[in-house]
Amino acid sequence: DVKVTQSSRYLVKRTGEKVFLECVQDMDHENMFWYRQDPGLGLRLIYFSYDVKMKEKGDIPEGYSVSREKKERFSLILESASTNQTSMYLCASSPRQSGRFEQYFGPGTRLTVT
């Protein structure tokens, strides 16, 4: 079974802090994704990566950056946390094989910025 793990389930940070969210997958997937989930808005893509050291902006990249130094690990960084970044953050991975677009999700990190 594919396993995607996220470093924290719950996180509370102060405004202005630098925040790191870590995601690790164990199935050798090429593609990795970071989403934020807010009520009524579904999932919105922040960044994705289709290879080590590669990254692409999603729909809402402002205020975020990412790092992918190893294939299995994809980190989301909030350079200076703000209250409007309070949200549920979901990491996902998927294989690159043709026709296999399904994504495998981690349990999520609920981040509160005060």
Partner 1 sequence: AQSVTQLGSHVSVSEGALVLLRCNYSSSVPPYLFWYVQYPNQGLQLLLKYTTGATLVKGINGFEAEFKKSETSFHLTKPSAHMSDAAEYFCAVIGGFKTIFGAGTRLFVKA
Contacts with partner 1 by CB under 8 A lie at: 4, 9, 31, 33, 40-43, 45, 48, 50, 56, 58, 90, 92, 99, 101-108
Q: Shortest distance, CB of residue 4 to partner 1, whole angstroms?
A: 7
Residue number, 86 or 105, with CB nearest to partner 1:
105
E strands, 1-114, in order: 4-6, 10-13, 19-25, 31-38, 42-49, 56-57, 64-70, 73-78, 87-94, 104-105, 109-113
User: Do the Cβ atoms of 40 and 103 come closer than 8 Å?
Assistant: no
Report how far residue 83's alpha carbon sits from residue 72's, in angstroms, rounded to the nearest whole number.
30
Residue number, 48 or 74, with CB nearest to partner 1:
48
Q: Shortest distance, CB of residue 84 to partner 1, whole angstroms?
A: 19
Residue number, 41 or 52, with CB nearest to partner 1:
41
